[in-house]
Structure 1
Amino acid sequence: MPEVFIQLNDLPDEIFIYILKKLTNLQVLYSLLGVSKRLNRIVYGSIFTNHLTLLRSISNDSIYPLSNRMLDRFCLHILPEIHHKIKWLNLESCSIERILRATNYPSLNALGLYNIRQEMNPPCFTDVILSNDTLRKQISFLAIQITDDEESINFSAHIFTKIFTVFTNLKYLNMNESFISQSLSFYISP
């Protein structure tokens, strides 16, 4: 019986994509972009570029920033190449400014911001977004996870005020569970 060796390059695109979908988009882009023309064509597809989570999460729900090496590669090489395909970004508080300033995101309409802390007052994400009128208008979905803190009630009110002032096209807002029990009131002038 003859031995049969199948290499990765022998697989049809559909099977290769099926295998790659077992990885995160972060892992696929970081590891495979630039390896070969075929991989670039597959990795550049909307399956891997529409929704990016540029943070590390651990099984106990802890969230951490990417390493500087990974951030460098994304900000200097990967994001500028795929910026027009990105529709959703999930970012950790330490890297929000760097990633949002790396390139423009003409298709971005959803943003997830994680580990927002009270000591970031005013939150760094507003400075970046305030300086980008297009980004302010195109975000329609916003998810924010604020790190729990005993004194977070006043901070959350400040965040809500900023959100509704900054994101002029916001349709959906998702906040972490700790804010469900908190009450906010808004005055809308005539």
Structure 2
Amino acid sequence: MDNLNVGILDLPDEILLTIFKKLNNIDLLYSLIGINQKLNKIACDINFTKDVDLTTVLTNDTSDSRLNAMVDRFCTYILPQIHNNVESLSVQASLFQRIIRANNYPNLHKFILFNLEMDMISHIFNKKSLFIRSYKHQISHLVMTIKDAFRYRPLEIIIAQTYVAIFAWLSNLQYLDLDGIDGNLYLRRLLRGLSFSRCYTSNVAHLRIRIHNFDDCLCLLDGRLSQLHTLIVKLDYVRHSTIIINNDVKKYT
């Protein structure tokens, strides 16, 4: 009887695609790209490259030298081969500059940034930054988790660095999800003090945010977010609304 041993390279591409879909796509890209032409072609398939989550690169057991080697390989070899396919990109803030500078992503529309420090915001969201120059009209979905504690910072500075900057420079933003931010960011007195044009964009349809109380929630519905259809809020403090008590709700309808 003929030898029936079959190697992985002998399998049809369709079967390999089915097998590889069960694997972590980052592990797949890191392990297969550059091995040979057949595996390279499959690994670069849009099924594995349209949603790139590089947050898995940073783990508690990853040494600095191994992390640098992995990031270098992605930046210099892997991302240049798949950059046209990338639609969603998730990165740790510590790797943001390296990933963004690695290549241009012409189809990128969703960006997820983890463990962002407030000091980085003014560097990312300004008209001279590479990120804004390259993607200000592309990004429609932005998700950020911020790890700073703000108790010792002036509230006005935080708002200026965060919401005003994001809304000012991402002209096509439709989905905004911010986590880790102190709910006091949305104190009603500051919301009312900011002009419509500075603080909001009418394109935002989905907003997830942490706020202080029901009054702040109502202030988000004062007309500045005219396209909003989904609002998800995390309240720090639940009490009777002074706006409702004072029969002031009609201003927000």
Same fold (TM over 0.5): yes
AA in 2 matched with 1:83: H
Structure scoring higher RCO (CA < 8 A, sep ≥ 6) equals 1
C-alpha separation in 2, matches of 1:167 and 1:89: 16
String of CA shifts for 1:146-169, please: whole Å, max 9, x gaps: 115253894752212211112111
Following TM superposition, where does structure 1 have runs of at least 4 consecutive aligned residues deviating by more than 6 angstroms?
57-60
Q: Does 1:113 align with 2:121?
A: no
1:1-190 equivalences under 5 Å are 4-56=4-56, 67-120=67-120, 122-124=122-124, 126=126, 127-130=129-132, 132=133, 134-147=134-147, 149-151=149-151, 154=155, 157=159, 158-176=161-179, 178-179=180-181, 181-182=183-184, 184=186, 185=191, 187-189=195-197
String of CA shifts for 1:15-51, please: whole Å, max 9, x gaps: 3222212222211111100111111111111001101
Check conservation: 2:92, 2:114, Cα contact below 8 A: yes
Stretch of structure 1 that moved more, 91-100 or 119-128? 119-128
Compute the RMSD of aligned alpha carbons.
3.1
SS in 1 for 2:118: coil
Check conservation: 2:149, 2:182, Cα contact below 8 A: no
Check conservation: 1:96, 1:124, Cα contact below 8 A: no
AA in 2 matched with 1:188: F
Larger Rg: 2
Stretch of structure 1 that moved more, 145-154 or 39-48? 145-154
Can you give the 5+ residue segments of structure 1 that lack an aligned partner in the other structure? none
SS in 2 for 1:90: strand
Task: Compute the TM-score of the two structures, normalised by the length of structure 1.
Answer: 0.81
C-alpha separation in 2, matches of 1:6 and 1:73: 31
